[in-house]
Amino acid sequence: MNLILLGPPGAGKGTQAKRLEQSRGLVQLATGDMLRAAVAEGTQYGKQAKAVMARGDLVSDDIVVAIIAERLDQLDGEGGFVLDGFPRNVAQAEALDAMLRSKALKLDAAIEMKVEVEALVERISGRFSCASCGKGYHDRFDPPKVAGKCDVCGGTEFVRRADDNEATVRSRLEVYDRQTAPLVEYYRKQGILRTIEGMAAMDEVTRELKEVLDRL
């Protein structure tokens, strides 16, 4: 099964994509994670992307399409993928369609996670994760059970994304509205759009998503 999770930053795409890896064996393809890794490693792409990401703008289509093409090439034979954060505009969606056609692959669904934009700033500005195992937390909604200690691995170091501050979050949300939201229509026209309510609690969203996927 090949899926796209569509929704603004903070909608819960990453959380649900990770759960789909576990429950359905899908491979999560998150361009944001790939770009952050490229920045951390100081690769050519990473150097080009760093300042753009810090501003909350979109990295050039050439770079993200090249990164995704490489990852799709490596996937052959696996059980499907879930795209998280890609495509981010119509040009990327068209490039994806062309890539999939050339590999005789197709998308089963683009799932729009509907959220209230006003709530997203608080959701995103409070999030952080364990530096050792990557488990995600939130200052208010989902803090570790014991303050300062990771529930999963016991790690005591935590990290926050450089672009999860309020000013950058607001520009990321604007970029979403302008460039990414039109993809809802793009996939509706292809007949593969499905919509779920993303404001519910995480487990409830997971259940809703499962229902949608079971009906495909």
Catalytic residues: 13, 88, 127, 161, 172
Residue 160 structure tokens: 């926050």
Question: Which runs of E-coded beta strand occur in 75-165?
Answer: 81-84, 109-114, 127-130, 136-138, 158-159
When binding is defined by CB under 6 A, the residue of 85, 125, 127, 129 that contacts ligand AMP is: 85
Rounded to a whole number of angstroms, the minimum distance from the CB of residue 92 to ligand AMP is 6
Q: Name the residue type at position 199.
A: M
DSSP state of 17: H
Q: How far apart are CA 118 and CA 71, in angstroms?
A: 34
Q: Decide if residue 64 touches ligand AMP (CB under 6 A).
A: yes
When binding is defined by CB under 6 A, the residue of 11, 26, 53, 183 that contacts ligand AMP is: 53
Rounded to a whole number of angstroms, the minimum distance from the CB of residue 87 to ligand AMP is 6
Q: How far apart are CA 58 and CA 179, in angstroms?
A: 9
Q: How far apart are CA 192 and CA 107, in angstroms?
A: 8
Q: Do residues 67 and 45 lie in contact, with contact meaning Cβ atoms separated by under 8 Å?
A: yes
Outline where 88-201 has alpha helix (H). 90-102, 117-125, 166-175, 183-190
Q: Decide if residue 17 touches ligand AMP (CB under 6 A).
A: no
Rounded to a whole number of angstroms, the minimum distance from the CB of residue 145 to ligand AMP is 26
Residue 80 structure tokens: 């499907």
When binding is defined by CB under 6 A, the residue of 3, 11, 81, 88 that contacts ligand AMP is: 88
Pairing of strands 127-130, 136-138: antiparallel
When binding is defined by CB under 6 A, the residue of 31, 125, 129, 206 that contacts ligand AMP is: 31
- Residue closer to ligand AMP by CB (options 28, 31) is 31
The contact pattern for ligand AMP, residues 136-175, with x = CB under 6 A and - = no contact, is ---------------------------x--------x---
Residues that bind ligand AMP (CB under 6 A): 9, 31-32, 35, 52-53, 56-59, 64, 85-86, 88, 92, 163, 172
